[in-house]
Amino acid sequence: MPSPRKLLAAMQGAAAALHGGGLVAFPTETVYGLGADAENPAAVARIFAAKGRPADHPLIVHIANPDQLTHWAKDIPPAAWLLARRCWPGPLTLILRRACRVPDIVTGGQDTVGLRVPDHPLALALIEASGGGIAAPSANRFGRVSPTTAAHVREELGAAMDFILDGGPCRVGIESTILDLSGHQPRLLRPGAITIAGIEAVLGQPIAQPGSHAPRAPGMLRSHYAPKTPVCLVPAAHLEAEARRRLAQGQRVAALTMSATLLPEACLRQDMPTHQTGWARELYARLRAVDAQGSDCILIEEPPIGADWQAVRDRLERAASAHGASGEFLSMGRQPF
Ligand code: TXA
Ligand code: MG
């Protein structure tokens, strides 16, 4: 851990970069963000350029506490206040009707804005030091897996960055839950560590979930969060046979597994945790590691079906969708997410 003096100096440098219209990568509890001053359209434009992200994919504005909601949103429903007070700081993004001051470039021209208070001391200190909101997507190239360490950010986007704050590995590891509160009924747009059951318990009402093929948030493409190597989701019972089949075809095979499945020696094996929080925390770093080893395919043992695994399964299914015919599902029992 750097000394408090070094941390303070880093924070001042990062806040100065934001004030000057620069880009700062910073840790959150979910993944690293690529931040700019949310009220500076020219600075926000640099985010889109650095990521190679289409202009109609809106950004989340990171704020320091629930009281700042009124600065960014209007017609805020009671459900938003309830969730903000119970779940923030935390991995939940709320979509609300936007206040006029929110630049079009942040919202992709929509009349809503995504807001969240991240649960990370460096992120909160940076937002406080900047004195405003920080517009930030995940700090990866468009469509790729999100970074969960500062080293991932450096590798992928280092040259485009004015400052990288290193807060160590992210605790949650996958992106925040996104809940749309701008319509008649609360609607889940992206599953995350805050579960539907958790949200329903706070609100005391059911929330709507789109099916996997229904249109979702702009930017929520089915093929997203993908490593460079094609991914195939395989039920545990078929993992060994599938690995052998591909090895016999001369493929270099990597496998992410959570059970004590016997795999051929030639397989580059990554043993995953058995609990969903560990899976989420490790997933993106493992996919990056496998990419770096240069395999022809990544076989991923399908995690269990069930509400606790919804967010992990969502990311895995997107990763498997990214490579068209070469990314596949061998699964029989798929859930909507
Ligand atoms: O955990 C997270 O949410 C991370 C950290 C850095 O906070 N951020 C993140 O941002 O994952 P990004 O841009 O990679 O994903 C945000 C998603 C996008 O799919 C975008 O379409 C959606 O949020 N989103 C943002 N604003 C929205 C809006 N007004 N309406 C609908 N969807 C929105
Ligand atoms: Mg992203």
**Percent over 70 (pLDDT), the chain:** 91
Write out pLDDT tens, residues 75-109. 999 999 999 999 999 999 999 999 999 999 999 99
Looking up residue 283, the CATH number of its domain turns out to be 3.40.50
Cβ of 178 below 6 Å from ligand 1: yes
- DSSP annotation of 146 reads P
N-to-C CA span, the chain: 38
Q: 267 C-alpha to center of ligand 1: Å? A: 35
Residues 287 and 186 in one domain: no
What gap in Å lies between CA 307 and CA 311, rounded to an integer? 8
Looking up residue 109, the CATH number of its domain turns out to be 3.90.870.10
Indicate whether 213 belongs to any domain: no
327 vs 10: which has the higher pLDDT? 10
Residues 241 and 156 in one domain: no
Q: 129 C-alpha to center of ligand 1: Å? A: 23
Indicate whether 218 belongs to any domain: no
What gap in Å lies between CA 256 and CA 237, rounded to an integer? 14
Strand ranges, E, within 120-237: 134-136, 163-164, 177-180, 187-190, 231-234
Boundary of a domain, candidates 203, 223, 254: 203
The per-residue pLDDT for 259 is 87
pLDDT bracket for residue 332 (50, 70, 90): very low
| Complex prediction ipTM | 0.99
Cβ of 61 below 6 Å from ligand 1: no
For ion ligand 2, residues whose CB falls within 5 Å: 138
**Percent over 90 (pLDDT), the chain:** 81
Write out pLDDT tens, residues 289-303. 999 999 999 999 999
Give residue 122's domain range.
Answer: 4-203
Q: CB of 83 within 8 A of CB of 58?
A: no
The per-residue pLDDT for 335 is 33
Residues 176 and 31 in one domain: yes
As a whole number of angstroms, the longest Cα–Cα distance in the chain is 60
Domains in the chain, number: 2
Residues 128 and 255 in one domain: no
The per-residue pLDDT for 213 is 43
Q: CB of 231 within 8 A of CB of 322?
A: yes
Q: 302 C-alpha to center of ligand 1: Å? A: 26
Cβ of 182 below 6 Å from ligand 1: no
The per-residue pLDDT for 302 is 94
Residues 255 and 153 in one domain: no
For 279-285, what is the mean pLDDT? 97
The per-residue pLDDT for 331 is 43
The per-residue pLDDT for 223 is 58
Residues 73 and 36 in one domain: yes
Residues 198 and 279 in one domain: no
Residues 138 and 259 in one domain: no
Q: How far is CA 154 from the centre of its chain?
A: 17
Q: CB of 256 within 8 A of CB of 272?
A: yes
Write out pLDDT tens, residues 25-48. 999 999 999 999 999 999 999 999
Indicate whether 334 belongs to any domain: no
pLDDT(214) > 60: no
Indicate whether 216 belongs to any domain: no
Residues 150 and 13 in one domain: yes
Question: What integer best gives the mean pLDDT of the chain?
Answer: 91
For 232, the 3-state DSSP assignment is strand
pLDDT bracket for residue 262 (50, 70, 90): confident
For 107-115, what is the mean pLDDT? 96
For 258-282, what is the mean pLDDT? 92
pLDDT(334) > 50: no
Indicate whether 209 belongs to any domain: no
Q: CB of 65 within 8 A of CB of 182?
A: no
Indicate whether 337 belongs to any domain: no
Residues 12 and 142 in one domain: yes
Residues 195 and 247 in one domain: no
Indicate whether 211 belongs to any domain: no
Q: Which positions ≥6 away from 192 have C-beta within 8 Å?
A: 30, 91, 92, 172, 174, 175, 176, 177, 178, 311
Boundary of a domain, candidates 184, 203, 222: 203
pLDDT bracket for residue 54 (50, 70, 90): very high
For 256-270, what is the mean pLDDT? 89
pLDDT(246) > 70: yes
Residues 82 and 121 in one domain: yes
Boundary of a domain, candidates 203, 220, 254: 203
Indicate whether 208 belongs to any domain: no
